[in-house]
Amino acid sequence: MIRRAVILTLAAMAGMPLGACGQDFNAAPPNAASQRPAFEGQTRAPIIDAGVELHSTVIADGLEHPWGMHQLPGGDWIVIERPGRMRLISASGEISRPIIGLPEVDAQGQGGLLDVLVREDFEKTRRVWWSYAEPHGKGRNATAVATGLLALDGTAMTDVRVIFQQQPAWNSNLHFGSRLVFDRNGALFVTTGERSKPKPRQLAQNVSTHLGKVLRIDPMGGPAAGNPQIKDGLPEIWSLGHRNIQSAALGPDGALWTVEHGPRGGDELNRPAQGKNYGWPIVTYGEDYSGSPIGEGITAAQGMEQPLYYWDPVIAPSGMAFYEGEMFPEWRGSILIGGLAGQALVRLTLDGTRVTGEARYLQGRGRVRDVDVAHDGAVMILTDSDNGALIRLTPKN
């Protein structure tokens, strides 16, 4: 299938700039109105980039709920669709047939193919890693990670090995996570969800499970060397107390940064440190979907880390990248995050680990499921819908 690259002037279509619109997103009332941040600047950072315009090119559309992407060294993009399809998309918009040879996925609800990535030596090794919802029978499923070798013609995956299976499996179609990130030592971070339901939700605090954790594994299976020694804990665990992490990236400082979904309020930016507890579901900046408190409704507790930044109302984060490219020099060092409920590309500026400003682009123009930076510095996004698209963003001259 071939899709013609289409240049869109969405600003003209909407009658406003394709950028950080005049809408004051900080004016929206919070869901958990009685909660207060633990420190100044922990939420609602000053709005930046008002009126900035971007140029948008649709590289490929007609994708069914695309959830993850990674650019190959040669310039093609490897893209996954939630129902279980992995494809190659060329810079000119040519979409391949689905790559064969992948394990069976459970594509119920939020399940399916979840993320994909390669290392810099891909042209030599042809090795690909991906995460997915793995069926376990009787309605149960779990987040899993597999690796395989992509054939030279890009049509098939061979030597496929499942290198991680989340324990325990659960009968739920929600909160699988999952993002994959390599650290500078070659270990593979895997983020997971806590499966959402009231009973498994509590297991985010249970170190004998993989639910609601950041995990760090060897890229060919087993725990990575150098993980924290947590009493009675599984050896893959890096950090615990997370709800559902669908945004993760390695920062310029070499540390893992994540953004996880809160309930109604309480999306969190964290820099997970080894062995630390990030509180869910004991503490959270947010409330349940019913409007009732989560647990005791507290936002802090001894031995539990505070988020570096949080949102209420939520942006519903998915996909994340640090910008270090040449095309947007003023964006260097910023975090770029996809917003689902927020229907925006979110940019955060930093001073060390402190958030100093927030901008939102493409507001109201679709759910942004993943964010990446192309080799040439363009910002790439995936929109999540039955007619999802791979879109290239560049500065508007």
Q: Residues with catalytic annotation?
A: 175
Cα–Cα–Cα angle for 323, 17, 21, rounded to 5 degrees:
75
Rounded Cα distance between 235 and 216, Å, is 9
138 by Cβ neighbours in 10 Å (0-12 / 13-18 / 19+) ranks as: exposed
Cα–Cα–Cα angle for 330, 363, 251, rounded to 5 degrees:
40
**12: helix, coil or strand?**
helix
**47: helix, coil or strand?**
strand
Describe the strand order of the beta sheet including 245-250 as a list of residue ranges: 245-250, 256-260, 267-270, 309-311
| Partners of 47 in the β-ladder | 358
Q: Is the peptide bond before 178 cis (omega within 30 degrees of 0)?
A: yes
Residue 146: C-alpha distances to residues 114, 117, 130, 131, 206 (Å):
11, 11, 6, 6, 25
Rounded Cα distance between 288 and 142, Å, is 24
> Whats the size of the chain, residue-wise?
397
The tally of CA atoms less than 13 A away on the side-chain side of residue 53 is: 12
Report CA 218 to chain centroid distance, whole Å. Answer: 21
